[in-house]
Amino acid sequence: MDFSPTPIQFLFEDENRNRIYVKREDLLPFSFGGNKVRIGLEMLADLKQSGCDHMIAYGNARSNLCRVLSNLCARENIPCTILSPADDDGTTVDSFNQRMCLAFGAEVVPCLKTGVRDTVEAALQRSRDMGRKPYYIYGNSLGDGNLVTPVRAYRKVWQELLSQQQAMNLHFDHLFLASGTGMTQAGLICGQLLDGGNTAIHGISIARSQDNGRAHILRYVRAFMQDEVLSPAIDFVDAYALTYGRYTDAMRATAASALRLHGLPLDLTYTGKAYHGMLQELRARVIAGQSILFLHTGGTPLFFDKLGEIVE
Ligand SMILES: *Cc1c(COP(=O)(O)O)cnc(C)c1O
């Protein structure tokens, strides 16, 4: 399955003569698109490469990765188990992603964020007891051991981006994206380290603090580059992060306006936060006359979860 490249579309010129473009990863033509299609494909390839036959994922009810993985597995008849933690406040929400996971036949096992390690180990053991060879997407029960696989996805997209800029006779001065686990941003940073290009990459945190986010990205980059002392510049902005899944009315208004003015769907957990953060940062950093790329990382089902709030 190779759907690249995804379209890059011009959106508008702002009051400081910045030209804003968007790369539509949300239009990847499988399971409602998004960065998790690319990352999920790398994980599925790695499962097969490792000779495994049972996908074990971890993600909450809103997880786009779990939707994509369960869809990929359904298509190939690979059993898929999703360990699904409650939110920090102990609640779980209903969502289109969750419903699709169930519709694709994934086994959803509720768990607590505090007991991840035990939950993962129990799931792996149960799978082995059934005579299967389980593949845990994050490697071992501590969440390391498989840092390289997801990074590969956006390391490849960096190459795609370089060719697209060449074909469009355009150079992006800045790239903004929603950054969560950091797998996507780490991939772009590795691409830049390996293939060059001086676009400034700005991750807008959707949950983590700057220190925590940076540390995770650095861990991915170092693992991928096989260089434990490498220290690339990592811009990870936590000024808009709030708590995972929370948003302000200004973010909601930005999503409403992007939909009205550009027909661009932005969800309120990831891309709406990041797009809003990008517009704020362009002003705060007094960026003018530059070419700006927003990487639309997807989340279409989350957009529809909140449509009622976005358009009020
Ligand atoms: C997962 C996700 C992100 C964040 O990607 P990471 O690689 O986890 O940083 C951004 N946007 C959407 C829509 C996502 O599903």
Identify whether residues 104 and 154 lie together within a single domain: no
Identify whether residues 101 and 184 lie together within a single domain: no
Any idea what the Cα angle at residue 184 is, between residues 140 and 287, rounded to 5°? 150
End-to-end CA distance of the chain: 38
**Mean pLDDT of the region 63-75:** 98
Distances (CA, A) of 120 to 59, 89, 115: 12, 21, 9
**243 in a structural domain:** yes
**Mean pLDDT of the region 91-104:** 91
Best of 184, 202, 247, 276 to mutate for ligand 1, by most ligand atoms within 8 A of CB? 184
Domain limit, last residue, from 108, 136, 164:
136
Identify whether residues 23 and 158 lie together within a single domain: yes
Q: What's the pLDDT at 116?
A: 85
pLDDT at 1 over 80: no
* Residue 172 belongs to domain with CATH number: 3.40.50.1100
pLDDT at 129 over 70: yes
pLDDT at 45 over 80: yes
**251 in a structural domain:** yes
- Ligand 1 neighbours, Cβ below 6 Å, are 34-36, 64, 178-185, 270-271, 297-299
CA of 131 to the centre of ligand 1 (A): 33
Q: What is the pTM of this model?
A: 0.97
**305 in a structural domain:** yes
Q: What's the pLDDT at 143?
A: 78
The alpha carbon of residue 250 and the mean position of all alpha carbons in its chain are separated, in whole angstroms, by 22
Identify whether residues 65 and 208 lie together within a single domain: no
Identify whether residues 82 and 224 lie together within a single domain: no
Does residue 5 have a cis bond before it (omega within 30 degrees)? yes
Q: What's the pLDDT at 76?
A: 97
12 DSSP β-pair partners: 20
Instruction: Kindly tell me the sign of the dihedral angle through the C-alpha atoms of 91, 95, 97, 102.
Output: positive
Indicate which atom in ligand 1 lies nearest the CA of residue 267: 13
Q: What's the pLDDT at 86?
A: 83
136 DSSP β-pair partners: 56
Q: State the chain's mean pLDDT as an integer.
A: 95
22 DSSP β-pair partners: 9, 294
**141 in a structural domain:** no
Q: What is the DSSP string of 88-134?
A: TTS-----HHHHHHHHTTPEEEEE-GGGHHHHHHHHHHHHHHTT--E
- Rounded to an integer, what distance in angstroms lies between the CA atom of residue 306 and that of residue 271? 13
Identify whether residues 209 and 131 lie together within a single domain: no
Domain limit, last residue, from 136, 160, 192:
136
Contact 106, 70 (CB under 8 A): yes
Burial of 125 (0-12, 13-18, 19+ CB in 10 A): exposed
pLDDT at 98 over 70: yes
CA of 129 to the centre of ligand 1 (A): 33
Identify whether residues 83 and 208 lie together within a single domain: no
Give the model confidence (pLDDT) of 221-258 as tens digits: 999 999 999 999 999 999 999 999 999 999 999 999 99
Identify whether residues 226 and 118 lie together within a single domain: no
Percent of the chain whose predicted confidence (pLDDT) is above 90: 90
- Rounded to an integer, what distance in angstroms lies between the CA atom of residue 57 and that of residue 135? 8
Any idea what the Cα angle at residue 75 is, between residues 71 and 79, rounded to 5°? 75
pLDDT at 123 over 90: yes
pLDDT at 82 over 90: yes
Identify whether residues 274 and 197 lie together within a single domain: yes
**142 in a structural domain:** no
CA of 182 to the centre of ligand 1 (A): 8
pLDDT at 150 over 90: yes
Distances (CA, A) of 40 to 72, 136, 153, 284: 8, 12, 9, 35
pLDDT at 105 over 90: yes
For the record, the structure tokens of 289 come out as 């006359």
Identify whether residues 13 and 156 lie together within a single domain: yes
**231 in a structural domain:** yes
**Mean pLDDT of the region 151-179:** 98
Identify whether residues 104 and 124 lie together within a single domain: yes
CA of 180 to the centre of ligand 1 (A): 5
**1 in a structural domain:** no
Identify whether residues 24 and 81 lie together within a single domain: no
Domain limit, last residue, from 136, 160, 184:
136
Number of domains in the chain: 2
Domain that includes residue 124, residue range: 36-136
